[in-house]
């Protein structure tokens, strides 16, 4: 029988979540870049009092090859405490794991033994396509009344027949219910999405259609500014598109969107991968004022000069490495924004106490296309800081090193063996890599999304403001 009390890992406010017990486990998505073996979920021990701390406790292979795991999430989280929720007594129990290339969705049960999740259900691409018209599922968010999954493709072999969007799954049966949008307005591309539940709006971003990413970055399309460059804002309850903000054709690929966690704060951040006019990357702050949304570029990261001999073919003609902001993550107190510069091999920490004036507060270097900075523990690190996850208390920042298999091969042709590392964050700012935390996932696996047991800073959305 299901418990008639809310899951203790659900928290009304971000501040209360910060006071919860430290994370004990991480679940990390592993993928086979050459598709010679199935992708997998790794379970990493994060209990600092455990004799197996910082090691892989289990590697659970998926039943198929070629899924290309990406941004998986939980079946339920703190959003279930919404006054509008029909499911207040759910448990944060199941990991909902989409394969971006196969268009499958797997559901893994973390009970009864969270150290060894087991496959509970597989949702085949035919069901998703039949009920929604969508393909290439990408990001999972747990909402108050279901599981929301963003997609990058529509119908057809190449996923370009019809625009991508968001579909909803039942959070108990995992049945695909249908597409979320009632009125999508001008939205034609998709990537990330998130929301402010009490303020009743959603924000979404754009990457590209499958022919522009599945087989690698298309240089002609990038230099022709053919990738996404807009933010979209939605009425969450009415499922209706209300506003588009174009960041400018040259601001290619606004990817991760991170709204403030405290729902009384109507702002958030988005990272732009590259400015095609100068190769810099940027952070934009968006906010709502007098009923309208606005966005402004509030921080930039310049490219770094490099000898052509240290550059992949894609970049030799530029003589520089673009930062390539591939992920951003916001601490639960809304104070620090972490920015992963996958190209230059830098993780930046910005103090965003004033969201309109981010201030660089810390930085670590690891990997990088030209720099190839080794881990302070002495071990090599290929790729650069990529998928980033912050502990609930804000003291630890974990990251992996793979972006997307075909893009990995273009920018890091020597390969990116999967690694997960951790930084310690100072209470007043500052970052330091932990020389003893270096988790290797074995030959043939790249590492992507991290989920922390009990919730993390890119999983939960909160319904009540912090006191």
| Total number of domains in the chain | 1
For residue 174, what are the contacts with CB-CB under 8 A and spacing of at least 6? Answer: 75, 94, 96, 105, 107, 120, 121, 123, 147
3-state DSSP assignment of residue 374? coil
Dig out the tokens for 126 from the structure. 């035919």
User: Stretch 342-367: mean pLDDT, rounded?
Assistant: 98
- Predicted confidence at residue 88, as pLDDT, reads 65
pLDDT at 305: 97
Query: Bigger pLDDT: 319 or 4?
Result: 319
pTM to 2 decimal places: 0.97
In this prediction, residue 353 carries a pLDDT of 98
Q: What does the pLDDT average to over 347-373? A: 98
pLDDT at 409: 97
pLDDT digits (tens, 9 = 90+) for 149-191: 999 999 999 999 999 999 999 999 999 999 999 999 999 999 9
Percent of the chain's residues with pLDDT above 90: 95
In a domain, 45, yes or no: yes
* Average pLDDT rounded to a whole number, residues 389-395: 98
The pLDDT of residue 87: 67
φ/ψ bin of 159: left (φ > 0), alpha (ψ from -120 to 50), beta (otherwise):
left
pLDDT digit string (tens) for 56-115? 999 999 999 999 999 999 999 999 998 877 666 789 999 999 999 999 999 999 999 999
Residue 306 has pLDDT above 50, yes or no: yes
Q: Does residue 156 fall inside a structural domain? A: yes
The CATH code of the domain that includes 237 is 2.130.10.10
Mean pLDDT of 326-340: 98
Summary mean pLDDT of the chain: 96
What are the distances in angstroms from CA 158 to CA 104, 223, 384, 414?
16, 22, 29, 28
- Flag whether 151 is in a domain: yes
Express as a percent the part of the chain with pLDDT over 70.
99
For 246-288, how does the pLDDT look when each residue is reduced to its tens digit (9 = 90+)? 999 999 999 999 999 999 999 999 999 999 999 999 999 999 9
Inside any domain, residue 9: no
Instruction: Supply the DSSP string of 35-56, one letter for each residue.
Output: -SSEEEEEEEE--TTSTTTTSE
Residues 6+ apart with CB under 8 A from 33: 402, 405, 408, 409, 415, 416, 444, 446
Is the pLDDT assigned to residue 145 strictly greater than 90? no
The answer to whether residue 464 sits within a structural domain is: no
Average pLDDT, integer, range 403-418: 97
- Pairs from 107-114 (Cβ < 8 Å, separation ≥ 24): 107/75, 107/174, 108/41, 108/60, 110/27, 110/453, 114/25, 114/43, 114/453
Is residue 300, in this structure, part of any structural domain at all?
yes
Residue 443: the pLDDT is 80
Residue 467 lies in a domain: no
- By residue range, what is the domain housing residue 273? 14-452
**Mean pLDDT across 46-62:** 97
Domain for residue 463, yes or no?
no
So what's the pLDDT on residue 1?
Answer: 40
């Amino acid at each position: 029988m299901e418990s008639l009390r809310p899951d203790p890992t659900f928290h009304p406010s971000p501040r209360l979540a910060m006071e919860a017990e430290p994370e004990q486990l991480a679940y990390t998505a592993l993928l086979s870049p050459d598709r010679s073996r199935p992708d997998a979920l790794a379970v990493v021990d994060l209990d600092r009092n455990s004799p197996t701390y910082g090691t892989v406790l289990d590697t659970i292979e998926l039943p198929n090859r070629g899924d290309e795991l990406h941004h998986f999430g939980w079946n339920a989280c703190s959003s279930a405490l919404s006054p509008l929720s029909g499911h207040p007594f759910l448990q944060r129990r199941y990991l909902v794991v989409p394969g971006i290339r196969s268009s499958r969705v797997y559901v893994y049960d973390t009970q009864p033994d969270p150290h060894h999740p087991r496959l509970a259900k597989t949702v085949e691409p035919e069901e998703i396509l039949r009920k929604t018209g969508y393909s290439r599922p990408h990001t999972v968010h747990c909402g108050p009344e279901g599981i929301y999954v963003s997609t990058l493709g529509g119908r057809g072999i190449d996923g370009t027949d019809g625009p991508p969007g968001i579909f909803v799954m039942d959070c108990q049966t995992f049945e695909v219910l249908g597409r979320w949008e009632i009125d999508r307005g001008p939205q034609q591309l998709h990537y990330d999405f998130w929301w402010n539940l009490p303020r009743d709006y959603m924000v979404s971003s754009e990457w590209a259609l499958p022919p522009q990413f599945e087989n690698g970055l298309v240089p002609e399309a990038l230099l022709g500014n053919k990738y996404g460059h807009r933010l979209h804002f939605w009425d969450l309850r009415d499922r209706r598109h209300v506003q588009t903000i174009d960041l400018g054709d040259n601001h290619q690929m606004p990817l991760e969107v991170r709204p403030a966690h405290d729902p009384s704060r109507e702002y958030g951040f988005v990272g732009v991968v590259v400015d095609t006019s100068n190769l810099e990357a940027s952070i934009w702050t968006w906010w709502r004022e007098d009923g309208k949304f606005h966005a402004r570029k509030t921080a930039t990261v310049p490219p770094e000069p490099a000898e052509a001999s240290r550059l992949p073919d894609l970049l030799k003609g530029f003589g520089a490495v673009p930062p390539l902001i591939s992920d951003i993550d916001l601490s639960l107190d809304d104070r620090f924004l972490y920015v992963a510069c996958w190209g230059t091999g830098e993780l930046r920490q910005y103090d965003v106490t004033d969201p309109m004036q981010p201030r660089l507060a810390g930085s670590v270097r690891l990997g990088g296309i030209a720099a190839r900075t080794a881990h302070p523990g002495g071990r090599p690190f290929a790729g650069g800081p990529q998928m980033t996850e912050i502990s609930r208390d804000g003291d630890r920042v974990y990251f992996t090193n793979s972006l997307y298999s075909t893009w990995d091969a273009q920018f890091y042709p020597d390969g990116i063996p999967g690694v997960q590392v951790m930084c310690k964050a100072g209470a007043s700012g500052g970052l330091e890599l932990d020389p003893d935390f270096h988790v290797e996932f074995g030959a043939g696996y790249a590492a992507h999304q991290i989920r922390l047991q009990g919730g993390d800073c890119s999983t939960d959305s909160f319904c009540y403001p912090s006191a």
